[in-house]
Amino acid sequence: MSRTKPILLIVAWSLLVHAPGIRSPLMDYQAYRQCQTASVARNYVRHGIHFFSPELDTDGPPQRAGTEFPIYSYLLALLFKVFGIHEILGRLLSCLFAAWGAVFLYLFVRSRLGERIGFWSAIILCSLPVHVYFTRTVQPEPMALWGLLGFLYYAGKQGTFLSFSVFAEPERKLKNLRTSPGSWILALVLGALAPLLKLSFLYVLAPLWFFLGYEREGWKVLKNAKWILLMAGILILTGTWYRYAQTAPAGILPLSAREHWGNLKPILTWNLWRAQFISRIPELVLTYSGLLLAGLGVYRYRKDSAARFFLAWMAVSALYVPLLGEYGLIHRYTLLPLAPIAAVWIACGVSVAMDSAQGRAAKALVMILLLAIPLHAALRIGHWYRVEYRYLYGARDFLTSISRPEDLVLTATHERPVHLYYLDHYGYSVEPADWQPADVDRMIARGVRFIFIPTEDNAKRLAEWKTCLASRATLMKETPDYLLYRTG
């Protein structure tokens, strides 16, 4: 099979599975992260596209925020600049990186395990629930995964690898390929982008860098200046950005050692291991039929030298999960880096099953197991596409009619980026369960002109809000969904 045809099929399948909800507003599952990302892009457009000064809506008047490397939001801002501020542009941008990353996985696996496993790895990657959903959301993780897979492809272009007949390919030996300067630079850039966009990707990237080198030269790789310089460059670029982010007036990332160790506390609890390894990974990363096929693939190829790197990748991924700690328990998208290696082992299982299937019934069973993967994804994550917060459109129109663009808004919600993004104002937020009248006074002193109270988030303390604001603000509008007050 030529290389062009499978790539076109991979891209087409990737775009097809991402078609549902492509025009949805950023009010579906993970709206918090999506609106936070989109607000940076929108502020770039409004205040000048100054790359090193990303701004959020949630810290009062616009000021530099200590975000991840804002290249994703910057690219989205360029699209906004050309085509207008349309949220579908962010979804299309994520879909582009999803398809491109799948192609990188195909090319990487193809060179090691053969055409068939490479192709099925990419197709299956695009079908796994965690990949289907979180590579169409407007957030930097799709680009980070693209960077990781691109790094593996370009860094893995050097070395001698064997492809054995057990993988249904003719036995062959690839020549020792010396990395061209272009490949080395691309490996550096793409490898740096992964942790720059999501720091936790470094937990996966750094060990894989070592295994790629060890596979080629053994322990001598630690004396290979070019190889060492590759990881050194990635670490320097990553460290430089996050050091800069720590100096921002508005800090949002947990970058201190104390915060990091605090995040790791759940490692010693059963809840983390149960939630991640018993519930989420089988349901969101592998699917149940995929788990069966992956087990078959691991069992069949566990002793083959060509599969050693993928066994190491699987082990690294297993260690990555507990290192996510509390953050990983809160955010399911952190499991996205596991999808490629899950896809590879499922594809190995598919290859074994296809070779072993005798008769129509056996072949039909293999096809059923394959089709069960996207079907599982549709059933498991279908409710994630449900759009919420539609009342914010009407609230924005009313607020716009009685306010100035620079007026600050205080919201009482868990989803502060969502409310402020769609209200199209800067401001602050308080937690519905924790706020005190003194917090309200402090926000008013900071210049808050409007207070927006979603009734669902504040149902238990709505009467307290009304009492508190009776002497502090004027009720401008009350609906079943929200209360809007003006201070002063």
- Residue-wise pLDDT for 220-268, tens only, equals 989 999 999 999 999 999 999 999 999 999 988 888 889 999 999 999 9
**What is the mean pLDDT of the segment spanning 90-111?**
97
| One domain for residues 335 and 406 | no
Q: What is the 3-state secondary structure (H, E, C) of 263-281?
A: HCHHHHCHHHHHHHHHHHH
3-state secondary structure of 448: strand
pLDDT tens readout for residues 122-155: 999 999 999 999 999 999 999 999 999 999 999 9
**DSSP H or E segment with residue 487:** strand 482-487
What is the rounded distance in angstroms from the CA atom of residue 271 to the CA atom of residue 445?
Answer: 42
Least confident of 36-40, 214-218, 324-328: 214-218
Same domain, residue pair 139 and 109: yes
Q: Answer whether 164's CB lies under 8 Å from 171's CB.
A: yes
Say yes or no to pLDDT of 202 above 70. yes
Nearest to 448 by CA among 477, 427, 417, 471: 427
The residue segments making up the domain with residue 64 are: 4-383
Please name every residue paired with 427 in a beta bridge, in sequence order, or none if there are none.
409
Q: Is residue 36, in this structure, part of any structural domain at all?
A: yes
In a domain, 177, yes or no: yes
**Alpha-carbon distance values, 399 to 295, 452, 476, 484 (Å):** 56, 10, 9, 8
Q: Which three-class secondary structure state does DSSP give residue 162?
A: strand
Read off the pLDDT of each residue in 425-453 and give the average, rounded to a whole number: 96
Q: Give the chain's radius of gyration (CA, Å).
A: 25
Given a contact cutoff of 8 angstroms between Cβ atoms, the answer to whether 314 and 207 are in contact is no
The pLDDT-based confidence of 165 (bands split at 50, 70, 90) is: very low
Show the beta-strand stretches assigned E in 71-175: 162-163, 172-173
Q: Are residues 378 and 398 in the same domain?
A: no
Is the same domain home to 161 and 75? yes
Residue ending a domain, choose from 383, 411, 439: 383
**Window from 42-56, 152-166, 343-357, 374-388 with minimum mean pLDDT:** 152-166
Res 192: pLDDT: 98
- Residues 260 and 243: their CA atoms lie apart, in Å, by 15
Token pair 């990302």 is at which residue?
A: 37
Look at residue 1 in the predicted model and tell me its pLDDT: 54
Considering the domain architecture, whether residues 317 and 433 belong to the same structural domain is answered as no
Any domain includes 388: no
Same domain flag for 237 and 262: yes
3-class state of residue 179 by DSSP? coil
Query: Strand 65-66 vs strand 172-173: parallel, antiparallel, or unpaired?
Result: unpaired
For the cut 60, the answer to whether the pLDDT of residue 386 exceeds it is yes
Give the pLDDT of residue 179: 55
- CA distance linking residue 379 with residue 392, whole number of Å: 28
Provide the domain count of the chain: 2
Instruction: State whether 58 and 188 are in the same domain.
Output: yes
Segment 374-389 shows an average pLDDT of 96
Q: Is residue 161 part of a domain?
A: yes
Spatial contact of 151 and 143, defined as CB atoms under 8 Å apart: no
- Amino acid residing at 51: F
- Looking at 383, 406, 431, the residue that finishes a domain is 383
Distances 486 to 307, 397, 450, 463 between C-alpha atoms, Å: 64, 15, 4, 17
Asked if the structure places residue 399 within a domain, the reply is: yes
CA dihedral for 341, 345, 348, 350, sign (positive or negative): negative
Task: Let me know if residue 339 belongs to a domain.
Answer: yes
User: pLDDT tens-digit profile of 325-341?
Assistant: 999 999 999 999 999 99
Helix (H) or strand (E) holding 473: strand 473-478
Confidence class of residue 206 from pLDDT cuts 50, 70 and 90?
Answer: very high
Residue position matching structure tokens 């950005």: 241
What value does the mean pLDDT of the chain take?
A: 93
Q: How confident is the model at residue 178 (pLDDT cuts 50, 70, 90)?
A: low
Clarify whether residues 338 and 480 are in a common domain.
no
Q: For residues 470 and 481, give the distance between their C-alpha atoms in angstroms, rounded to a whole number.
A: 19
Q: Quick one: angle between helices 88-113 and 308-323, nearest 10?
A: 140
Hey, what amino acid is at 52? Answer: F
- CATH code, domain carrying 477: 3.40.190
pLDDT, residue 488, reads: 82
Residue 479, domain member (yes or no): yes
Are 450 and 314 found together in one domain?
Answer: no
d(CA 365, CA 354): 10
Same domain, 321 and 455: no
Which residues, 6 or more positions from 113, have their beta carbon under 8 angstroms from its beta carbon? 121, 163, 167, 169, 306, 307, 310, 344, 348
The verdict on 164 and 304 lying in the same domain is yes
Q: 454-482, pLDDT tens digit by residue?
A: 999 999 999 999 999 999 999 999 999 99
Alpha-carbon distance of 345 to 339, in angstroms, equals 10
**Is residue 458 situated within a structural domain?**
yes
**Same domain assignment for residues 379 and 397:** no
Domain end residue (candidates: 358, 383, 408): 383
> What pLDDT was estimated at residue 68?
96
